[in-house]
Amino acid sequence: MAARTVKLAVIPGDGIGPEVVAEGLKVLEVAAARHDLAVETTEYELGARLWHRTGETLPDSVAAELAGHEAVYLGAVGDPTVPSGVLERGLLLRLRFDFDHYVNLRPVRLYPGVESPLAGATPEDIDMLVVREGTEGPYAGAGGVLRKGTPHEVATQDSVNTRFGVERLVRFAFAKAAERPRKKLTLVHKDNVLTFAGELWQRVVREVGAEFPQVCVDYCHVDAAAMFFVNQPARFDVVVTDNLFGDIITDIGAAITGGIGLAASGNINPGGTFPSMFEPVHGSAPDIAGQGKADPTATVLSAALLLDHLGVPEAARRLEAAVAADLKTRTPGEARSTSRIGDDLAARVAE
Amino acid sequence: MAARTVKLAVIPGDGIGPEVVAEGLKVLEVAAARHDLAVETTEYELGARLWHRTGETLPDSVAAELAGHEAVYLGAVGDPTVPSGVLERGLLLRLRFDFDHYVNLRPVRLYPGVESPLAGATPEDIDMLVVREGTEGPYAGAGGVLRKGTPHEVATQDSVNTRFGVERLVRFAFAKAAERPRKKLTLVHKDNVLTFAGELWQRVVREVGAEFPQVCVDYCHVDAAAMFFVNQPARFDVVVTDNLFGDIITDIGAAITGGIGLAASGNINPGGTFPSMFEPVHGSAPDIAGQGKADPTATVLSAALLLDHLGVPEAARRLEAAVAADLKTRTPGEARSTSRIGDDLAARVAE
Ligand SMILES: CC(C)[C@H](C(=O)O)[C@@H](O)C(=O)O
Ligand SMILES: CC(C)[C@H](C(=O)O)[C@@H](O)C(=O)O
């Protein structure tokens, strides 16, 4: 019997979500077992089907049950039959906000053997960690509309940035930077234009930075950062940024490291008051759903972030090593099915 | 004597600005003369020096004089000795806003012979026109700070989107799309999260689109667009987007087409009530200023946009052809000086 059992809530979600989560769980369970950890899962049917049946995205009773788990593992939400944003806001963002996932952790790593669209890029060039804010900024949902439908209509959309929210994120990012060999932290913002928010972010980075004299601090406007992700990715080690900038630059990060099929993320509540949530960066890809074509690797790598969060880094490294080994063997155009990739990864983890 | 004389206000600005503008003017004058247009320039010393001397970024009297010109040609503003944002907002953005430059036009083209950081990218893959809003959105300067310097500080930053402002931009973008062979327009936004602004943009695109049945309309979340710029740039023809998203994606556009040294832009007031302004996308690059190392090509290409705006498209095409021919001859690591590149381009235009 395993020394410890973790209670994991599983939300397969929509589109390819169920397929990739099935493989993620397969690999996660083997990796956990190798390190004396059992995984007890409870599955929740949330997403488009529930919404069509009941009009609900996240019933309060379900939210309360989820809160009783140590972590949440999510596939993807979103479906063409549901108006844009309903599931994203009603389920995904609601969980991030309700569970105070103020750290959205997104590693951007080029694995050996993976083809980057950037000519000549090597794994040494691209190895960063984006620490994206997850509970405020432009995602606050603040704003409004005046005189809708008239020529005088005005729609506003407000970014809300708090000292509390920025400081705890920035401190987390510095701590991560301090643990890494390069010890470099880059703030990405647009302080020459977004002066109110930008000045707060800059000041917090300066003040918290005083606690981390070993970390080298840099600043980059978001437009320049977007460019440097493409033509000088080696500039970056840890990147700290707001919710919207983080959304954009981590998709560039996914693009330069071989695509969204490999990009993992963790929505972390560092204090542990609420369960953290792990999910691939990609969406539900309804066009290829149910065909066994989806690459489960991003979901598997998200399980590595989960294992790290649970304090079992050896299992996380084992899982990442399995992925790294698998990626090295891939050939362009090979067409292993979703479950075959999961089987292969599970077998490597079991080795 | 030329049939027509255009009155051009020139703002060389800071850093490499004066160097690249000198070459831009050299080439512009030759191209204009070939098409019976004389250019009469008045130079304005705005930027870091003026600010240090007088504390002013754009004296009202100068703004009034600039308004009396047909167009403005600008190098770059910004200097490390001036606090971040002072010149950007006090000069560059003030001109864009005061002169109602609601269209920020940014072609993203890969010229033959230019090396893209994207492996295997060809000129056929990358040929788009980004139509960025220039006078509202997150650049409005709206927002504020509460309880500054306390643990309870809140900083907000508000995006202001008007029906009037969005509609005129979107109509301009559709008209551009209708003129191009592919006739495709992609709205880039984040309507699943930024719901108030996003819904307005979507609705305006739908409504204005009804006037342009020949144009195929697409939508892309900004995060996905940032990714597709890198791994599927051929998806895009005309892109219409807000001020901040446009800022970010056009820098990715610059990166994938060989860097910021080649990216041109026009800040257009289509009605002609105010002078439009043409400038390279790059900044003042103080680290290489005064050394003759800057590439003036982006500034030269901005002059092509100016010639188009002045209604002399033959001169614009001639200038672009000269740039295209020059780019084909470049070899990696070649080190022609700024003025040498200008001379070579002027000679080609004169041919
Ligand atoms: C689906 C969407 C709401 C979400 C976001 O914007 O955060 C996604 O793009 C992501 O990056 O996880
Ligand atoms: C300098 C800055 C204010 C400007 C902007 O954000 O628009 C620049 O980045 C640009 O793209 O022209």
Asked if B153 and A138 come within 8 Å (Cβ–Cβ), the reply is no
Mean per-residue pLDDT for A324-334? 91
* Helix boundaries (H) for A195-296: 195-209, 222-231, 243-256
Cβ atoms of A113 and A327 closer than 8 Å:
yes
Q: Is A193 a pocket residue for ligand 2 (Cβ < 6 Å)?
A: yes
Asked whether the predicted pLDDT for residue A1 surpasses 80, the reply is no
> Chain-wide mean pLDDT for chain B?
97
How many domains does chain A contain in total?
2
B3 min Cα distance to partner chain A (Å): 42
Q: Whose CA is nearest to atom 11 of ligand 1?
A: A247
pLDDT (0 to 100) of residue B158:
98
In this structure, the answer to whether residues B242 and B269 fall within a common structural domain is: no
Domain that holds residue B301: 1-106+261-351
Domain membership flag for residue B342 = yes
Buried/exposed code over A204-216 (b: 16+ C-beta within 10 A; e: otherwise): bbeebbeebeebe
Question: What confidence category does residue B3 fall into, taking pLDDT thresholds of 50, 70 and 90?
Answer: confident
B251 is catalytic: yes
Question: What confidence category does residue A44 fall into, taking pLDDT thresholds of 50, 70 and 90?
Answer: very high
Q: Whose CA is nearest to atom 6 of ligand 2?
A: B247
Mean per-residue pLDDT for B166-177? 98
Asked whether the predicted pLDDT for residue A268 surpasses 90, the reply is yes
B190 is catalytic: yes
Mutate to test the interface with A, among B77, B139, B156 (most CBs of A within 10 A): B156
pLDDT (0 to 100) of residue B55:
97
Q: What atom in ligand 2 is closest to the CA of residue B77? A: 1
Domain membership flag for residue B333 = yes
Contact partners, residue A145, CB within 8 Å, separation at least 6? A153, A154, A155, A156, B196, B199, B200
Question: What confidence category does residue B335 fall into, taking pLDDT thresholds of 50, 70 and 90?
Answer: confident
Q: How many angstroms does the Cα of residue B213 sit away from the middle of ligand 2?
A: 33
Q: What are phi and psi of A81, to 5 degrees?
A: -85, -5
B79 is catalytic: no
pLDDT (0 to 100) of residue B332:
79
Cβ atoms of B169 and A132 closer than 8 Å:
no
In this structure, the answer to whether residues B89 and B124 fall within a common structural domain is: no
In this structure, the answer to whether residues B95 and B221 fall within a common structural domain is: no
d(CA A341, CA B307): 56
In this structure, the answer to whether residues A227 and A238 fall within a common structural domain is: yes
Asked whether the predicted pLDDT for residue A221 surpasses 80, the reply is yes
CB atoms within 10 A of CB A339: 14
d(CA A229, CA A231): 6
pLDDT (0 to 100) of residue A331:
86
**Least confident window among A82-86, A331-335, B46-50, B253-257:** A331-335
The residue among A208, A233, A257 that closes a domain is A257
The residue among B208, B236, B257 that closes a domain is B257
In this structure, the answer to whether residues A14 and A52 fall within a common structural domain is: yes
Tell which A residues from 122 to 151 touch B, by Cβ distance under 8 Å: 138-139, 141-145, 147, 150-151
| Per-residue model confidence as pLDDT tens digits over A95-131 | 999 999 999 999 999 999 999 999 999 999 999 999 9
Tell which B residues from 210 to 229 touch A, by Cβ distance under 8 Å: 222-224, 226-228
Q: How many angstroms does the Cα of residue B171 sit away from the middle of ligand 2?
A: 23
Domain membership flag for residue B111 = no
H or E element, residue A72: strand A71-76
The residue among A257, A284, A316 that closes a domain is A257
Task: Name the residue of B79, B96, B247 to mutate for ligand 2: max ligand atoms within 8 A of Cβ.
Answer: B247
User: Could you tell me where the beta strands, DSSP code E, fall in B78-126?
Assistant: 103-109
In this structure, the answer to whether residues B320 and B336 fall within a common structural domain is: yes
Mutate to test the interface with A, among B91, B194, B262 (most CBs of A within 10 A): B194
In this structure, the answer to whether residues B92 and B29 fall within a common structural domain is: yes
Question: What confidence category does residue B338 fall into, taking pLDDT thresholds of 50, 70 and 90?
Answer: very high
Domain membership flag for residue B22 = yes
Contact partners, residue A195, CB within 8 Å, separation at least 6? B85, B89, B141, B143, B157
d(CA B123, CA B113): 9
| CATH number of the domain to which B150 belongs | 3.40.718.10
Domain membership flag for residue B56 = yes
Question: What confidence category does residue A333 fall into, taking pLDDT thresholds of 50, 70 and 90?
Answer: confident
A190 is catalytic: yes
In this structure, the answer to whether residues B233 and B267 fall within a common structural domain is: no
Write the DSSP symbol of residue B141.
Answer: E
Q: What atom in ligand 2 is closest to the CA of residue B251? A: 11
Compute, in degrees rounded to 10, the torsion defined by CA atoms A200, B98, B297, B29: -160
The tokens for B151 are 């643990």
A44 is catalytic: no
pLDDT (0 to 100) of residue B298:
98
Q: How far is CA B11 from CA B26, B78, B134, B174, B270, in A?
A: 15, 13, 19, 31, 21
Cβ atoms of A47 and A327 closer than 8 Å:
no
d(CA B200, CA B196): 7
pLDDT (0 to 100) of residue A131:
98
In this structure, the answer to whether residues A144 and A218 fall within a common structural domain is: yes
pLDDT (0 to 100) of residue B333:
80
In this structure, the answer to whether residues B270 and B292 fall within a common structural domain is: yes
In this structure, the answer to whether residues B270 and B350 fall within a common structural domain is: yes
Which residues does residue A173 pair with via DSSP β-bridges, in sequence order? none
B147 min Cα distance to partner chain A (Å): 10
Question: What confidence category does residue B312 fall into, taking pLDDT thresholds of 50, 70 and 90?
Answer: very high
Asked if A88 and B154 come within 8 Å (Cβ–Cβ), the reply is no
Instruction: Choose, from B190, B237, B242, B295, the residue flagged as catalytic.
Output: B190
Question: What confidence category does residue B14 fall into, taking pLDDT thresholds of 50, 70 and 90?
Answer: very high
Domain membership flag for residue B335 = yes
Question: What confidence category does residue B259 fall into, taking pLDDT thresholds of 50, 70 and 90?
Answer: confident
Q: What atom in ligand 1 is closest to the CA of residue A243? A: 7
Contact partners, residue B64, CB within 8 Å, separation at least 6? none
Mean per-residue pLDDT for B206-210? 98
Asked whether the predicted pLDDT for residue A19 surpasses 90, the reply is yes
Mean per-residue pLDDT for B237-260? 97
Asked if B255 and A141 come within 8 Å (Cβ–Cβ), the reply is no
In this structure, the answer to whether residues A267 and A242 fall within a common structural domain is: no
Nearest 5°: CA angle at A113, between A110 and A115? Answer: 65
Q: Which of B139, B159, B157 is nearest to A136 (CA)?
A: B157
Compute, in degrees rounded to 10, the torsion defined by CA atoms B210, B212, B214, B219: -70
Q: How far is CA B81 from CA B11, B58, B86, B279, B302, in A?
A: 19, 18, 11, 22, 27
Mean per-residue pLDDT for A133-141? 98
| Per-residue model confidence as pLDDT tens digits over A153-202 | 999 999 999 999 999 999 999 999 999 999 999 999 999 999 999 999 99
Asked if B254 and A227 come within 8 Å (Cβ–Cβ), the reply is yes
Instruction: Choose, from A44, A73, A111, A139, the residue flagged as catalytic.
Output: A139
